[in-house]
With several copies, the nearest count.
Chain A
Amino acid sequence: DLGNSNGLSPDMIYRYSRHLLLPSFGVQGQANLLKSSVLVIGAGGLGSPALLYLAACGVGRIGIVDHDVVELNNLQRQIIHTEAYIGKSKVESAAAACRSINSSTQIVEHKEAFRTSNALEIVSKYDVVVDATDNAPSRYMINDCCVVLGKPLISGAALGLEGQLTVYNYNGGPCYRCLFPTPPPTNACQRCADSGVLGVVPGVIGCLQALEAIKVASLVGEPLSGRMLLLDALSGRIRIVKIRGRSLQCEACGEHPVLTRQTFPDFDYEIFTQTPLSTGPLKLTLL
């Protein structure tokens, strides 16, 4: 009955039967997911599990942004890529993996660096954004773009043996700049490429990002807005803490924003954070 099943085809009813059986998710949650679109920025450690679960669960359209190619030293944590794709585009590799597990989901490939020049155009095509990048200027740029366009932002980060997760710019909640109005000193910012990361730590955070994106896109449950999850993998501790609300003084989402659709394209995030957007070469000084 197409009326009761909200337009789901028999194949979809079978594929998503474990979701449809859930009283608190059900046909309506699945129909919402199928109608939704999610953009994942970064097809690396966080993006790998996030993309696989978003494709598997039935998000209607998934965009993937990355300009990197797959390298052997990514494979320790970037489980969406296989050895066969070493040297090839991460977006192509991730898109092929998503299509192979769910050919009924539309996968859009954005094989380019995410910059102020293309950010508004790309993000405007999606309902929800997943920040799976690895550097401070990208995190500010993605936040500001989401605020300007009114998109909820699922933000995850992992380094060493720790991970962090929250949902920004959702339903009146704070944005990244509300929490971090001033960028940290550059020598306080480390990437996985510089400092190492236990591969499964971005795995856990990336899965949790998919979970939060699914909750936002399906309109089911309480997203992690105004709260932040802190994972300490070594000691096996996870705490979920209460963070501040939206700041009226915020330069992105406050009463008198400096960042607007007009000013955003000209904001220089590399100068603002004193950090380059692209990753430098690996330093194996510890070996």
Chain B
Amino acid sequence: MQLTLEFGGGLELLCDSVKIHNINVDPQDGEKQLTMKNLLTWVRTNLIKERPEMFMKGDSVRPGVLVLVNDTDWELSGQLETVLEEKDNVVFISTLHGG
């Protein structure tokens, strides 16, 4: 399954300062669907190069990180249970406090 992942608000620093990643990831053995929970595991294993605690907490993202699936907050699509589809766009962005 082809997905576009984007990291912003400083999270890109955890993956070699690359903001946009075009990836190919398939459901695990025996699974028919790829959920956000699966994707987070994949991202942590394959993209996060340093300080994983700045990206995840438990099996979800850390506080202060917004997750957007096709420009919509994942709270509106089922959070970790959100089922991904071909060519979906997933954004991970850290909230900023500067001014």
Contact = CB atoms under 8 A, between A and B. Distances in A.
- Give the interface centre of A132, A159, A182 by most chain B CB atoms within 10 Å: A159
B75 to A, nearest CB: 4
B95 interface: yes
Given A182-B63, A232-B8, A242 B71 contact: yes
Interface stretch (A95-103, A144-152, A187-195): A187-195
Contacts of A158: 96, 98-99
Nearest to A228: B66
Interface in B33-63: 53-54, 62-63
A159 B12 CA distance: 14
Contact of A190 (B8, B66, B68, B97): B97
A254 to B, nearest CB: 14
A159 B98 contact: yes
Contacts of B27: none
B76 A242 contact: yes
Contacts of A191: 97-98
A123 to B, nearest CB: 18
A157 B66 contact: no
A180 B68 CA distance: 14
Contacts of B96: 157-159, 162-164
A187 B19 CA distance: 20
B97 A135 contact: yes
A190 B98 contact: yes
Interface residues of B, number: 26
Contacts of A182: 63-64
A241 B71 contact: yes
A163 B94 CA distance: 11
A175 interface: no
A180 B8 contact: no
B64 A183 contact: yes
- Give the interface centre of A23, A132, A232 by most chain B CB atoms within 10 Å: A232
Chain A interface size range = 35 or more
A282 to B, nearest CB: 14
Contact of A185 (B62, B66, B75): B62
B99 A133 contact: yes
A147 to B, nearest CB: 18
A157 B99 contact: yes
Interface string A192-231: 1001010000100000000000000000000000001010
- Give the interface centre of B53, B62, B93 by most chain A CB atoms within 10 Å: B93
Interface string B65-99: 11010011101100000000000000101111111
Interface in A45-78: 45-47
A243 B66 contact: yes
Contacts of B99: 42, 44-47, 132-134, 156-158, 192, 202
Contacts of B93: 164, 230
B10 A139 contact: no
Nearest to A135: B97
Interface in A112-168: 132-136, 139, 156-160, 162-164
Given A164-B95, A230-B8, A242-B76, 11 more contacts: A157-B97, A157-B98, A159-B97, A182-B64, A184-B62, A184-B94, A188-B10, A188-B54, A242-B71, A242-B73, A244-B73
Interface of B: 8-10, 17, 19, 53-54, 62-66, 68, 71-73, 75-76, 91, 93-99
11 contacts: A23-B17, A45-B98, A46-B99, A47-B99, A157-B96, A157-B99, A158-B99, A159-B9, A162-B8, A180-B64, A241-B91
